[in-house]
Amino acid sequence: MRGTARRRTSAGPPAGEDHRSGGRPADLTPESTLTSTSRTAPTPPTASEAATERRSTEPVTPAPAAADRFVHWRAAGVSVVLALDPVGGLLPQVVHWGADLGDLDARDLAALALAAVPSVGDHPTDVVRQLTPLPEHARGWVGRPGLEGSRAGRDWSPTLRLRDQDVTTAGDGTARLTARAGDPVARLEVLLELELTPSGLLRTRAQVTNTDGVEPYRLDALRLVLPVPPEAGELLDFTGRHTLERVPQRTPFAAGLHAREVRTGRTGLDAVHLLCAGTPGFSSRAGEVWAVHLGWSGNQVHDAERLHNGARVLGAGELLLAGEVELAPGAAYRSPWLYASHGQGLDAVAGRFHAWLRARPDHPARPRPVTLNTWEAVYFDHDVERLTGLAGIAARLGIERFVLDDGWFGSRRDDTSGLGDWRVSADVWPDGLHPLVDRVRELGMEFGLWVEPEMVNLDSELARAHPEWLFSAGGRVGDPSRNQHVLDLAHPEAHEHVRSHLQALLDEYAIAYLKWDHNRYLVDAGHTPGGEPGVHAQTRATYRLLDELRAANPGLEIESCASGGGRVDLGILQRTDRVWASDTNDALERQGIQRWTQLLLPPELVGTPVGPPRSHTTGRTHDLSFRAGTALWGHMGVEWDLAAASPGEQEELAAWIALHKQLRPLLHTGTVVNGDHPDPHVQVHGVVVPGHDDALYALVAVGRSVTWPPGPARLPGLHPDRRYRVRLQPPGTDTGGGWPGLPPWCADDAGVVLTGRSLALAGLQVPPMHPEHVLLVRATAVTED
């Protein structure tokens, strides 16, 4: 990675305070200090600049030399070229974000920027668009502006003049740019940040400060965008519902606005997940793709916009409800990070996210414990003997973490009462949780506990004592969902109540893991007593609560669950150690849910359970080999009443758990790959270990092919010039039937030896398989004689 052009002028006024707090703003947590590297002297504006910026009296400097006017960052096959205006000009513009352009000198960069300037249209009122990551209406951008708001109807169209900008490189190799701009008439200041990480992941965010000393400023939106070229002619994003999350959908990148809004107060079961634009027909391994993701766990909007003048952008931001953020004098709001990934094929896009996440200092490093959750086994029927018996079976099968789910606290015998009363129920647990926790730990397993700290039943001690802590708009508490309502954590007392009760549990019991659930939408979410919208403050308060618990309890792991996969984003993942991908226990549907969840997250962050033989979410029945062969590919666990499993099933499950433990170093550090098989009923995916010495693939029959055999499957990701012995990996050898004439390569343990290039380009024949079965294929590098 390299950067050119280092420049900084004097900084503007200090950042203000958050609109809801009296101290340092919750939205303004500094992550680094950027140093001043050089300074330019101010000069009067040119005539054209003065005409464009007639409202501003800020001084400007002469246009710097080409070497100082451009930044070229390169990392892992990605180039980002930024054009830097002199002080008094525009915020930095993204000239190029995409494939690596190679070594470019200052002359090359100047020519590139010149070649990228669009022509004026054929209408006399057209202007050359001046697009920055925070597009401005006043500068001719007629799409969605980046900054929207007003001061009692005024100052709604700010013109931002650059005050200073700085380019640095962090110790981990991340290249950073910060730029500060302001509008003295609108009395606003904006801080823009851009970063390119060593994995080639680009991210940006912005902060707006009300510099007026008297009047508040109502902020309606702060959205960031990045340009994509005309080749990006097709869009891919995701939708879904409970037990069927992350369903892909494709549309042409047509003229106009493609906007996806989330107003449920969490990332969403129907979340966009990633908004991708690419060459039409792009797939896992082919086609150029640009993708964005918003690292935020509350209301949000993603959009793809194509204007009549040819401009195309992808962007996102927090969706602010009416009047939700009003900046008092001196106050500031900072947007969530917008993450952006580019690559050839979706696997390359995913790889940048995976590499960045794995490089974090707090990324889970120890082997991910195989986890049993008790929900499917006992539901609300908590009995210490039954649960300790289940723990004994789990330990014998090799399970490493035992999680007690809903029903252990207060009056919680069903979902109608007790939620919010985070004390162990004396009725069900007269000796507390100690008998179970002690037994679990004696068996060599960790103990985990289910909680839902943001929610409350009306029939609870908490709701009766503090009805003012519940969200209420217009004097109503709103309709319940699953018999529950939302506890407004923006009340400091409510926040402290929950924190102290959870901490008391963590102090009394050896709890290694919290399954943190979130089962109600934040609709009608009014902050009492006035009823102002409270989703933004609730999201921030939840982040603070998680941060406080993690800081006070080193080593505590937390899972993000929200009716299944309803809170999967890079905001919550900075505070949790894995996500619950879905409440479905149907292995067929989990094949797709896990595949697309891993477009953003590496396997070790995605909970993947083995469910019971018959799925209660769909009614389908699957062999254990398919259920376990699906669960293998993430942070493996079990949601099944093992006491009801036959001895043969228990023995087979133990073999799958042993295989997962053996393969964890591969599965949880390797590169995720997906094959593009032309038959939609055959799916191919795998993980290749760093160094390309070893790989595991799955051949999955998700349906019945019209033609049989369906043809060879290509195995991507191996070193092209090395040879690999390829054979079936037990216990994943169940095809579902006693087929005659298996392909020779899988007929015996010897397998076949092929080069990585041959496996990627020619592949090997798929054995005959019944639908909803999976075969595991191991490819191990052969040592040459």
Average pLDDT over residues 722-735: 96
Looking at residue 443, its pLDDT comes to 98
Q: What distance in Å separates the CA atoms of residue 784 and residue 73, rounded to the nearest whole number?
A: 40
Domain end among 297, 332, 358:
358
User: What pLDDT was estimated at residue 769?
Assistant: 93
pLDDT band at 35 (very low <50, low <70, confident <90, very high): very low
* pLDDT band (50, 70, 90) for residue 748: confident
Residue 152 lies in a domain: yes
Point out the domain boundary residue: 299, 332, 358: 358
Task: Pick left, alpha or beta for residue 457 (phi over 0 → left; psi -120 to 50 → alpha; otherwise beta).
Answer: beta
227 located within any domain: yes
Instruction: Indicate if the pLDDT at residue 380 is higher than 90.
Output: yes
For this structure, is 583 an active site residue?
Answer: yes
Kindly state whether residue 714 falls inside one of the protein's structural domains: yes
In this structure, what token pair is assigned to residue 669?
């550090």
The predicted pLDDT at position 20 comes to 32
CATH number at residue 291: 2.70.98.60
Q: Per the residue annotation, which of 270, 517, 679, 694 is the catalytic one?
A: 517
| 469-482: average pLDDT | 92
The arithmetic mean of pLDDT across residues 667-684, rounded, is 97
- Average pLDDT score over the chain: 91
Per-residue model confidence (pLDDT) at position 188:
98
Mean pLDDT score, 329-351: 98
Residue 467 in domain: no
**Higher confidence at residue 14 or residue 40?**
14
Q: Reply yes or no on whether the pLDDT at 17 is more than 60.
A: no
Confidence of residue 709 (pLDDT cuts 50, 70, 90): confident
Count structural domains, the chain: 2
Say whether the peptide bond before residue 45 is cis (omega within 30 degrees of 0): no
Rounded Cα distance, 343 and 339, in Å = 14
Residue 42's pLDDT band (boundaries 50, 70, 90)?
very low
pLDDT tens digits, residue range 84-140?
999 889 999 999 999 999 999 999 999 999 999 887 777 766 666 678 999 999 988
pLDDT of residue 124: 64
The stretch 564-585 carries a mean pLDDT of 98
Q: Enter the pTM of the model.
A: 0.92
Query: Is residue 275, in this structure, part of any structural domain at all?
Result: yes
Which entry of 155, 237, 583, 679 is annotated as an active-site residue? 583
What phi, psi does 96 have (nearest 5°)? -150, 130
Q: Could you confirm whether 577 is annotated as catalytic?
A: no
Residue 164 lies in a domain: yes
CB-side exposure of 138: number of CA atoms within 13 Å?
19
* Residue 67 confidence class, pLDDT cut points 50, 70, 90: low
Mean pLDDT of 313-327: 97
Q: How far is CA 717 from CA 596, 630, 672, 711, 764, in A?
A: 18, 20, 9, 20, 15
Section 661-681 average pLDDT: 97
Quickly state the pLDDT bin for 50 (edges 50, 70, 90): very low
User: 688 lies in a domain?
Assistant: yes
Sign of the torsion formed by the C-alpha atoms of 584, 588, 590 and 596 = negative
CATH number of the domain within which 697 lies: 2.60.40.1180
pLDDT(224) > 70: yes
What is the pLDDT, as a whole number, of residue 65? Answer: 52
Least confident of 18-22, 150-154, 223-227: 18-22
Instruction: Name the DSSP letter for residue 247.
Output: E
Higher-pLDDT residue of 481 and 760 is 760
329: number of Cβ within 10 Å: 16
What is the band of 58 on the pLDDT scale with cuts at 50, 70, 90? Answer: very low
Average pLDDT for residues 478-498, to the nearest whole number? 96
Query: Is 482 inside a domain boundary?
Result: no
DSSP 782: P
339, 358, 377 — which closes off a domain?
358
Q: 53 pLDDT band (50/70/90 cuts)?
A: very low
| Pick from 244, 233, 164, 178: nearest CA to 207 | 178
Domain range for 322: 47-358
For 743-759, what is the mean pLDDT? 93
